[in-house]
Amino acid sequence: MTTPGPAAPLVPASDQAQAEVIDLCAELIRFDTSNPTSNERASADWVVGRLAEVGIDSELVESAPGRANVVARIAGRDPERGALLVHGHLDVVPADASEWQVPPFSGEIRDGYLWGRGAIDMKDTVAVMIATARHFARTGTKPSRDLVLAFLADEEAGGRFGAHWLVEHRPELFSGVTEAIGEGGGFSFAIDDTRRLYPIENAQRGMAWMELTATGRAGHGSSPNDENAVTDLAESLTRIGRHTFPIRLIEPVRALLEEAARLQGVDFDEDDIEGSLAKLGPVSDFMQVVLRNSANPTMFSAGYQTNVIPGKATARVDGRFLPGHEQELIDTIDQLLLPSVSREWVNHDIAMETTFDGPLVDAMCEAVRAEDPDGHPVPYCNPGGTDAKAFTHLGIRCFGFKGLKLPHDLDYGRLFHGVDERVPLEGLRFGVRVMTRLWQSC
């Protein structure tokens, strides 16, 4: 890994950049890029236009009609260093307007927040990327090394039309890239009234979405049937849904818990993890999801008439596995299935982990501390998955970092894919300040 040269004098984020990020995010939210019912082309055209206004060239790449990605490269001070990829996705999950306080694609500002689907997942970060790039272009500021900005399609459905497609079909767009930052970390998490953790993702659980199919003997609904596909599948799903996987303490999780314990003045005993967690307050709840593998039934389909026992029933299960523990998940699922039930992959993707060290990690930590002296960056394992999984296939070292400071009373985790998704206006401005520092020092 090449070490960065002497740092240039910092050019701080301008008032203009901190103001326009809010408008940029609101405009992005107003594009309904629900996946899979819509597409990203209109929003991608808009991104191209916002970059072009300040002289930044970009390329729009469609992987299929309407499934649009945008990639731009910004020259850095040291072209000999490996480039940094900064990526965000343009698509969002659907939203049921009847459940929301505001129309989910209105981009409404209320009570110090910007509301709408994508406000935190992840049009906030896309807006920060654009606002920061525009600030650099207007002021002539150069990043410490080349930057590749990628605005991607289809992340919410696994990236088949976005990151994975680009890695397979257009890898030259990422030529020279050695490291990347995207979603999945860099947000604040309150540990008391004044101090915050900033979990920076350096690991992700793997994805094991599967379809289960039970086959049995079709027959009349009034007759006994000991080969009922619906019964066998329901029993298998119950076994899976009730199963608790054992704790597996991977290094990023261990490091976060140890730092949280240190900050709160309590001991962390690896031989008594449950007892140690009980001392960590809200951190315990926050980390439960990355202490073990998981598998949750999510969909079920069977039958066509009340008085007909179908010969087949199908269901979907969302499985996730920690780095190094994929086979444990697979073996456990196979043990829980009845003999009449088979499985096949719907979406199967890697777990990933990298070490928490190096100049980029140092720069991310310093950017947070500079803007939030009560912030404490820590390693983190993302319980879900992001486009980073695709970029690891190019040998790129991936992190999750968005630079978002949140009010202590906002339950950030529940807003992901949830109702009344919203981002604090000050959080957007904070993100521009952090990203402006990071791009100049990484």
Q: What are the extents of the domains in the chain?
A: 15-189+353-441, 204-349
pLDDT digits (tens, 9 = 90+) for 258-307: 999 999 999 999 999 999 999 998 999 989 999 999 999 999 999 999 99
The 8-class DSSP code of residue 2 comes to P
Give the mean pLDDT of 146-163.
Answer: 96
Calculate mean pLDDT across residues 158-187: 96
What integer pLDDT is reported at residue 232 of this predicted model?
97
Q: Which residue has the higher pLDDT, 347 or 316?
A: 316
The span from the first CA to the last CA of the chain, in angstroms, equals 12
Residue-wise DSSP of 142-192: --SS-EEEEEES-GGGTSTTTHHHHHHH-GGGGTTEEEEEESS--B-EESS
Q: How confident is the model at residue 25 (pLDDT cuts 50, 70, 90)?
A: very high
Q: What does the alpha-carbon distance between residue 361 and residue 378 come to, in Å, rounded to a whole number?
A: 10
What Rg value do the Cα atoms of the chain yield, rounded?
23
pLDDT of residue 70: 98
Q: What is the pLDDT of residues 36-94, one digit of tens each?
A: 877 999 999 999 999 999 999 999 999 999 999 999 999 999 999 999 999 999 999 99
The pLDDT, as a whole number, for residue 1 is 56
Q: How far apart are CA 85 and CA 80, in angstroms?
A: 15
User: How many CB atoms lie under 10 A from the CB of residue 268?
Assistant: 19
Give the pLDDT band (50/70/90) at residue 3: low
pLDDT of 16 > 80? The answer is yes
Q: What is residue 193's three-state secondary structure?
A: coil
pLDDT band at 28 (very low <50, low <70, confident <90, very high): very high
Percent of the chain with pLDDT over 70: 98
Question: What is the architecture of the domain spanning 15-189+353-441?
Answer: 3-Layer(aba) Sandwich (3.40)
Three-class secondary structure assignment of 271-321: HHHHHHHCCCCHHHHHHHHHCCCEEEEEEEEECCCCCEECCEEEEEEEEEE
Tokens of 440: 């100049």
| Nearest residue to 400 via CA among 176, 152, 198 | 198
Confidence of residue 4 (pLDDT cuts 50, 70, 90): low
Does residue 318 carry a pLDDT above 70? Answer: yes
What is the average pLDDT across 114-131? 97
Residues facing 349 on adjacent strands:
207
Please name the residues in contact with 381: beta carbons below 8 A apart, sequence gap of 6 or more: 201, 202, 203, 204, 205, 250, 252, 253, 290, 322, 323, 353
CATH topology classification for 204-349: Alpha-Beta Plaits (3.30.70)
Supply the mean pLDDT for the chain: 96
Rounded to an integer, what distance in angstroms lies between the CA atom of residue 236 and that of residue 241? 9
Q: How confident is the model at residue 6 (pLDDT cuts 50, 70, 90)?
A: low
Show Cβ contacts of residue 239 under 8 Å, excluding neighbours closer than 6 positions: 336, 337
Residues 309 and 322: their CA atoms lie apart, in Å, by: 39
d(CA 388, CA 345): 20
Say what the pLDDT of residue 413 is: 81
Do residues 249 and 291 make contact, with C-beta atoms less than 8 angstroms apart?
Answer: yes
Asked if pLDDT for residue 365 goes beyond 90, the answer is yes
Amino acid at 57: D
- Kindly report the pTM of this predicted structure: 0.93
**Averaged over 87-102, what is the pLDDT?**
96
* Sequence-distant contacts of 333-338: CB under 8 A, at least 24 apart: 333/210, 333/240, 333/295, 336/236, 336/239, 336/240, 336/243, 337/212, 337/236, 337/239, 338/214, 338/232, 338/235, 338/236
Residue 2 has pLDDT above 90, yes or no: no
The percentage of the chain sitting over the pLDDT mark of 90, rounded to a whole number, equals: 93
Residue for token digits 């994975």? 164
Characterize the bridge pairing of strands 113-115 and 196-204.
unpaired
